[in-house]
Structures are given as C-alpha cells and as structure tokens.
A and B are shown apart, each in its own frame.
Chain A
C-alpha cells in the first residue's frame, strides 16, 4: 500500500510567502529611485543657496575691513542689512541672522532687495570674527555665510551651504 508522498510542487502558502519575500527585496530599489529624485531637488536648492551665500559675502566684501571695524565700535547702527547686526566688541564678533530670506529696503526707494518665492524657506546667517596673528599689526576679518534649508520629505532633514571669506586690514 502506498502512503501519501511529500508533495513535489509548491503549496499555495509557499508561493504567497515567496511573493511576499520578493516584494520585500524590491523595497530598496524603490528607495534608491526615490533618493535619486530627491537628490535632484536638493541640488537645485543648493544652487540657490550658493547664490544667497555669495550675495551675503559680496555685501561683507563691499563694506570692507574698515567699515566692519567701525561697525564693531558703534554697533553698526547706520548699516543697512536684511537683519539687525549683533556686535560683540569684547569678542571681536559681528553677526546677523535671517530666519527666512525676505525682501528688505536698500538705500534707494523702489529698489528693494527682493527674492523669488522659492527662497523663503531658506535661513541665512553671517558671522564675522576679527582675528590677529600674534605680534602682528595686520588683522583679518573672517566671515562665514551659512544658508540652511529643510527638505520637504519624511524626516525633514536639514541641509546647509557654508561659504567663507577673509578681509585684511589694520584696526585703529
């Protein structure tokens, strides 16, 4: 008499399990594709962030070493910037911070410094520090412009671009 032998084919349960496992295996593929697409968006944001950081360093360079030295003394009250200048005389440090990059008034009416709407989620900070080599008359103003933004994806990770600049001079 023959007993029932072990089935040679797959059972339905086995097939369903296999399909489930294959499904799990393809998740990383989708994740990679998603990341590639997110990377594109990120690079676009980065291009705009570099432009905003460059702009801030242009203003720093324009005012110059002597101008910022004066601002450290008088708090930069007459200085036109997108946000209030913070001056720490004892630490030789100047900074301003914009939680959001928005339009502000320039010297002349009707020519406000404005930005495209896509700049609004960006935050910009400029920190300037006076440094001096020991025994040297010459000082340097080290400026760092940092632009931060958050990606509109799960986890909301923060990205940033930082650019720096050195100006040399002699402080009175």
Chain B
C-alpha cells in the first residue's frame, strides 16, 4: 500500500539537482584546470628563463675573473687590450696563475661573441674548464644558445681603465619578447695596484714571461 498524505521522505537527488551539481562541478574543475595549467606553465618557463640567467652569470663570472688578472705588455703586438668595432671580440693579456721563474707569466685571452655563442681562447691553451664545458681544447665554448647579445666595452674613469660586459638573456616565455640584461664593469686588479703606486712605470715585455717566446731575462 502506498503511503498516503504528505510526500514520502526523499532518498535520492532529483534529476534537476544532479544536473545543476554536475554543471557547477564541471565549471569549477574547468576553471581549476585552466588556472593550474597556466600556472605550472609559467613556473616551468620561469625556471627555464632562470637557467638562462644562471648560465649567463657563470659566463660573466668567468670573464670577470680573466679581466681582473689583465695586464698590458708594452712593446708586443697584441700586448694591450683590444675590442673590435662591433664590441663582440675582446682580446687581452692576462697573468697566468703559474709564474715562470722569478717573472710573472702572461698569456693572451680572446673572447668572441658570435651570434648566440661565446668562446674563450687562451693562447697557449690554459686548460680552463667550465661546468658544462664543450668545444675543442683551445677554444672552449663558454656558452651557447643562451644569449641574445654580448657586448664588450672599454672606458676610462678617473684615469683608470674599466671593461664593461653586457649580456642579454632571451625571454623564453615569448610573452614580452624582451631581453633580460646582465651587466657589470671590471678593472684589472694588477693594473690598478700599479697605477696607485707613485713609483709605477709602464712595464715592458722584459718584465713578463709571455706566451710569444721571450723566455729568459732580456
């Protein structure tokens, strides 16, 4: 016998309720998915971009370390620092960390920025190895596919020479299309110490053991 009078207790959802709930849940899930997807995508792109900045930083540190040991060897071709007109090639002499006899040893370093590739050559090869190093032994590739532009510039300030290094890291998100820049200026520790010394005189080839021969005392 069917219950009479008021309606019996509801034991399930009505179709209308289910439809509304499914619709609401779908909307929430769709929104969540979209937000989470774009969020995780921007985080991973950010991490990739950060990796570019980190690599550029490593390269910049390498260049700074070389420039801090820069020296000028007067009277030798290529004995003084040189930057080509495009600002993409920097050539200079630097002290070796291993002196030869009682003289400091110097050798030539060439940084070349070609498109997105930066190479560093020591003459003779000084065996500098970098994390993630590749390329041949004499001209290791400092980094590749990491920069949009690398520029070297020399300027004098208060009578002293400084080398400005600018590196551009591309925006991999492609949203802004802009470049993230890293830049600093470095001066040679040795050069500045000498010029601060009132008894300083320009040092000629005879003071160095250069890579071009010149072994022994002249």
Contacts and interface: CB of A to CB of B under 8 A. Distances in A.
Main secondary structure of the interface of B (DSSP, over half): mixed
Contact of A116 (B17, B46, B166, B189): B166
Contact of A30 (B13, B39, B169): B39
B135 interface: no
Contacts of B128: none
A97 B205 CA distance: 42
A115 B35 CA distance: 37
Contacts of A115: 183
A107 B40 contact: no
A52 B184 contact: yes
Contact of A107 (B7, B35, B158): B158
Nearest to A56: B185
A136 interface: no
A94 to B, nearest CB: 14
A128 to B, nearest CB: 14
Contacts of B132: none
A14 to B, nearest CB: 10
Contacts of A8: 9-12
Contact of B50 (A4, A40, A117): A40
Contacts of B179: 116
Interface residues of A, number: 57
Contacts of B178: 118
A32 B96 CA distance: 49
A133 interface: no
Contacts of A58: 162, 184-187
B47 interface: yes
Interface in B73-123: none
B211 interface: no
Main secondary structure of the interface of A (DSSP, over half): helix
B7 A62 contact: no
A117 B24 CA distance: 47
Contact of B42 (A23, A33, A116, A118): A33
A61 B192 contact: yes
Given A4-B7, A12-B17, A79 B158 contact: yes
Interface string A90-130: 00000000000000001110011101111100000000000
B185 A113 contact: yes
A2 B160 CA distance: 101
B39 A19 contact: no
B164 interface: yes
Contact of A51 (B11, B43, B183): B183
Interface of A: 1-12, 15-16, 19, 22-23, 26, 29-30, 33-34, 36-37, 39-41, 43-44, 47-48, 50-52, 54-55, 58-59, 61-64, 66-67, 79-80, 106-108, 111-113, 115-119
**Which 5 residue pairs of A and B lie closest in terms of their CB atoms, listed nearest first?**
A5-B9, A40-B46, A33-B39, A51-B184, A116-B181
17 contacts: A12-B17, A15-B21, A16-B24, A22-B28, A23-B28, A36-B43, A37-B46, A43-B53, A44-B50, A54-B184, A62-B160, A62-B192, A67-B158, A106-B157, A113-B157, A117-B181, A118-B181
